Amino acid sequence: MRALAERYRFRDKVVWITGGGGGIGAALARDAASRGAQVAVTDIDGEAATRIANELGTHAAAWRSDVTDFADCQRVAGAIQERFGGIDVLINNAGVTHLSRFRDTPPEVIERVLRINVMGAVHCTKAALEPIIERRGRIAALSSVAGIGPLLGRTGYSASKHALHGFFDSLRAELTDTGVGVTLICPSFANTDIGKHALFADGDAESARTMTGPVTTPEAIAAALLDGIERGVWTVLPGRVSKLAWWLSRNAPRFYSARMRARLEGTR
């Protein structure tokens, strides 16, 4: 959906990936490195981030980072610039989900999801924005099918992903004259720790008991996003499920909602 004319290349670019210690983030780090990028891997789990950076070799480095703390994001952005000389690309991947009906979910659980998923992206984007503008770079964020339509049982998660679209679509418009591109990707469910360790109504992270749709791989999502960034695509819809969800949510919203409800309740 909507692409810039000139193709962007990752070779020799400095790419900051949040939530890079596993899952889609680790797949993004590996793929970006394979395209010739220098990779800054950050994660709340510093040891996991370090393992990925060590795997990638001398053109990668890792930092522990808490995206909910703006001062910490500023610290990390400064450290990345000191280590690599700048920041070209920021990929906001860090996130958390939950799996519980809204009527059973304390507001504190949804607040935590919003703080990590939305304010985490805001904090990192603000911290990296000026260096990225200087290099006419790129900003990306991991959204979801939950950001383009309803997702029953994940009201807070869906709200956070809708918020990302509002924020980054508006930011893209603000940055029109800077040469900076902004890309969102809306995958369906992936086989990653964000789904395996969803928050439940009590706020604890446990192994998720159910998925709402077909599962894809972190590697496929990573490749689709990096390809989308290179092509200047505004919104990447990887795979049949994402494209179908986008179309149905706009053209047959009642049917889409009914199918979501049927899957959540385990019926056909």
Give 265's pLDDT tier (boundaries 50, 70, 90). low
* 157 in catalytic set: yes
d(CA 162, CA 150): 10
CA distance to 13, 67, 120, per residue, from 61 (Å): 14, 17, 20
- Does residue 32 fall inside a structural domain? yes
Share of the chain above pLDDT 90, in %: 71
Contacts of 91 (CB under 8 A, 6+ apart): 15, 16, 17, 18, 28, 140, 141, 142, 225
Those residues whose C-beta lies under 8 Å from the C-beta of residue 79, and which sit 6 or more positions away, are 63
| Residue 197 confidence (pLDDT) above 80 | no
In a domain, 116, yes or no: yes
**What pLDDT, in 10s, does the model give residues 48-88?**
999 999 999 999 999 999 999 999 999 999 999 999 999 99
Split into its structural domains, the chain has a count of: 1
For residue 156, give the CATH number of its domain. 3.40.50.720
Specify if 247 maps to a domain.
Answer: no
Say if 200 falls within a structural domain. Answer: yes
User: Within a domain: residue 118?
Assistant: yes
The pTM of this model reads: 0.88
Residue 196 lies inside a defined structural domain of this protein: yes
**Which listed residue (157, 168, 246, 256) is catalytic?**
157
Within a domain: residue 146? yes
Residue 155 lies in domain: 14-242
Asked whether residue 3 is assigned to any structural domain, the reply reads: no
